[in-house]
Structure 1
Amino acid sequence: MKSLLKKFLLIYPFIYSVIFLVNAQDYRISLLTCDPGDELYSAFGHSAIRVVDPTTDQDLVFNYGTFDFNTPFFYVKFTQRTLDYMLSVSTFERFQVEYNYFQRNMREQVLDLNPDQARRLVLFLEENYRPENRFYRYDFFYDNCATRIRDAMETILGPQLDWNEPVDAELKTFRNLIDEYVYPLPWADFGIDLALGSVIDRYATEREKQFLPDYMEAAFGRAMVVGDGPTRPLVKEAQVILDFPPRESEVDLFNPYILWWVFAIAVMGLTFVGFRKKRLFKGFDIAFFSVLGLLGILIVILWFFTFHSQTKYNWNILWAFPGHLALAIGLYSGKVRPWLKKYLLLALIMANLALVFWITGIQSFHPSIVPLLLVILLRTNFLYYNLGKFIPAKSG
């Protein structure tokens, strides 16, 4: 009995949606756009499709932005980009309760589709919701909850859909677009800029900007339906469903901008004292370059051993380099071998090269790494000229 009940609960949403789609005759279809939340996973907002049958009052939301936390090796798959997202179906009431609870604004754009277009879109969603079709390989920029809806509209309307793109739109890179949303989350902003490579520093087209729900909402608001009678706007009605007062932003002093500058000033003081007292304070360099080396290993893993296209060609590796672990080990050994000074010179050159890459626009780095680069330049230079003086060289 329990087994039968469990199976019924698993297939109930699919049965419910099929009954809804078979019985419905006249659909009211709209795009739902939800504002960003406070956590990183919700920082970019959300999009979903609402389908209402006015004759039966059935009201469903098709949501491409869901995933299963119980997936085996969830975080490993998320990191490697082998985690599948899925299309889910819920009632609008349940969908609204969640966003009301987290006090996230929600807007609705009712689409001006003719009956045949609306029917084909609903059948398209129903086909996507079949168990063998509902899962897809998520890509933040090119295949997410927003782009899936855009692609569905292009599939159904074809050449009848004119995005009516502005000719004087502001040029923005993918990194610029991300920064607009993660600026209130400084550590997330730092982590994203550290993990993503130069491939996201190209300009996004107006269509590509639609990976962000706010930009897709604006695109739907401009779009026109052509070749189906008189040209008409895609959106015939817009309304606000949830509207909350703006939240007061709190200034967190514990952020990378302040922390790294405080760190850099402290290292300057440490280096000055070391120069005056003829001490290297190697313990600091061992710890510092070990951390940079571990960050470098992470960058290598994301670059070469995952399926993320956005983590390729990440020139943060010029300052957070895996070889810095060898430098830390060499300093820890207490022996001043010839290769140590050569490596210090290499590290100094790579840090300068990172600045060149930044200035020339090859890759945009997070602004807070400036003090970290200064620390690398300071300590590699200090060690290069003083390693043999303060610690007698040993043979071998």
Structure 2
Amino acid sequence: MKRLLVLSLLFFIQILFAQNPTQDKVIVSVLTVGTADASHSLYGHTAIRIKDDSRGIDRVYNYGMFDFGTPNFIVRFVKGDMQYFAGAYPYADFEYNYRYENRSIYEQILNLSSENKIALINALESSLTGTEKYYTYKFIQRNCTTKAVDLFNSVLPKETIYKHDVSETTYREILYPYAEHQFFQKLGINIIFGAETDLQATKLFLPFDLKNNLDQTQLNNKPLVLANKTLFEANRVPEKAWWDSIYTLVFFLGLIVALKNKIVTRTYFIVLGILGIFFALVGFYSFHEEIAWNYNVLLFNPVLLLIVYFDWKKNKKLVMWSTYFALVCLVLYTLFMISKIHLGIVWPFIVANGVLLLPFLKASGPPKMER
């Protein structure tokens, strides 16, 4: 029955367009929603709007929908097989939701032919049912923005919408400013992301990146965007807790260093070592390419666990060699990070680790080569 209703709707839409193929009243636009402080709203949102006042149609197609009630939600999200889905609902509900969240809504009305609009609406409606409704979310490769781009490009001449402003900028550098007022969230994002995010950013994957590039896009030698509108301008004051800053991190790491307490230092190394194991293994477990090959294991080094263990066992020789290995990793990491944008937020760990490792080296004495 559901499939029959969808087919009937598609047939009805085509009939309406066929009645007046050159002067239809349908308006197709891209909606860009502003950012917010929560992790799932940190980068904004993209949706597609179909409006025809003469027929009382005003729908939003949303490709960023997911269910928090999904069994093993966190595990599946980390693994990278979380299923997002497409949905459609009245624009009034869409606007109400984002006004309530105090997030800006921007609209770009597109200059499309009647044929393009028919093809687009058919594709939109088709994506609401069957296997096309659900898709496996990927942070860079497949999200609400990339789905919209792919859908438009499927009905327009090949690759009409693409990234115009390609430069040497990496994906990490594009993402970095979005968590400007949430230091620990920014820190968490950047230490879990691996080498993939340091590649040159060639793909449109963020809502505001798409918005900016649409303004540069041409279709049949004419601007694709007919008009830009601000449907709602949020008056946001970034939520910033007094403790959410690099100064808090520096304070606590400085305190750990200043205490010179072996139990505290061991605990610190254990925490970092466990994080390092997680970073090293999650890349093999997860389908998210962004967290694979995470060089931050050189900083959050699992070898720190061996140092603690050998020190507890009073094996000075193995403490010495483990410490030397950890220090070499730390030096290599520091040299590698010189060109990376997130050096500015991980340097307290680099300094703290170096200072805390030296006493283990001194206590074990200089290395002796066996003959």
User: Same fold by TM-score, threshold 0.5 exceeded?
Assistant: yes
Matches within 5 A, 1:296-311: 296-311=276-291
1:20: how far off? 4.7
> Following the alignment from structure 1 to structure 2, what is the Cα–Cα distance between the partners of residues 41 and 16?
33
> Following the alignment from structure 1 to structure 2, what is the Cα–Cα distance between the partners of residues 297 and 219?
40
Is 1:232 equivalent to 2:222 in the alignment?
yes
> Following the alignment from structure 1 to structure 2, what is the Cα–Cα distance between the partners of residues 162 and 250?
34
Match of 1:371 among 348, 351, 365: 348
Is 1:182 equivalent to 2:179 in the alignment?
yes
CA contact (8 A) 1:36 1:43 kept: yes
Cα 1:75–1:264, aligned 2, differ >3 Å: closer, same or farther? Answer: closer
Cα 1:338–1:256, aligned 2, differ >3 Å: closer, same or farther? Answer: farther
Match of 2:11 among 22, 29, 33: 22
Please name the residue that 2:86 is paired with: 87
Cα 1:249–1:104, aligned 2, differ >3 Å: closer, same or farther? Answer: closer
1:263: how far off? 2.7
1:235: how far off? 1.3
Matches within 5 A, 1:187-266: 187-205=184-202, 208=203, 210-226=204-220, 231-245=221-235, 247-249=236-238, 251-266=240-255
Please name the residue that 1:140 is paired with: 139
SS at match of 1:248: coil
The superposition leaves residues 320-370 of structure 1 with CA deviations (integer Å, 9 ceiling, x where unpaired) of 12232222223334x2342111111111111111101112x3x55452321
SS at match of 1:22: helix
SS at match of 2:181: coil
Which deviates the most, 258-267 or 101-110? 258-267
CA contact (8 A) 1:110 1:236 kept: yes
Please name the residue that 1:343 is paired with: 322
Cα root mean square deviation, aligned: 2.3
Cα 1:383–1:337, aligned 2, differ >3 Å: closer, same or farther? Answer: closer
CA contact (8 A) 1:264 1:374 kept: no
The superposition leaves residues 198-243 of structure 1 with CA deviations (integer Å, 9 ceiling, x where unpaired) of 22112212xx1x21111101111121111xxxx3211112211111
> Following the alignment from structure 1 to structure 2, what is the Cα–Cα distance between the partners of residues 176 and 236?
31
Aligned partner letter, 1:242: F
Is 1:120 equivalent to 2:100 in the alignment?
no
The superposition leaves residues 165-189 of structure 1 with CA deviations (integer Å, 9 ceiling, x where unpaired) of 35xx664211111112111221110
> Following the alignment from structure 1 to structure 2, what is the Cα–Cα distance between the partners of residues 346 and 32?
52
CA contact (8 A) 1:51 1:59 kept: yes
> Following the alignment from structure 1 to structure 2, what is the Cα–Cα distance between the partners of residues 170 and 132?
36
The gaps in structure 1 that reach 5 residues or longer are: 1-7, 272-280, 390-396
The superposition leaves residues 87-125 of structure 1 with CA deviations (integer Å, 9 ceiling, x where unpaired) of 111111111110111111101111111111100011111
The superposition leaves residues 266-298 of structure 1 with CA deviations (integer Å, 9 ceiling, x where unpaired) of 244334xxxxxxxxx321221011011111111
Cα 1:104–1:317, aligned 2, differ >3 Å: closer, same or farther? Answer: same
Aligned partner letter, 2:265: D
Matches within 5 A, 1:320-335: 320-333=300-313, 335=314
Please name the residue that 2:293 is paired with: 313
CA contact (8 A) 2:306 2:322 kept: no
> Following the alignment from structure 2 to structure 1, what is the Cα–Cα distance between the partners of residues 325 and 123?
57
> Following the alignment from structure 2 to structure 1, what is the Cα–Cα distance between the partners of residues 294 and 58?
45
Please name the residue that 2:102 is paired with: 103
1:15: how far off? 7.6
Please name the residue that 1:394 is paired with: none
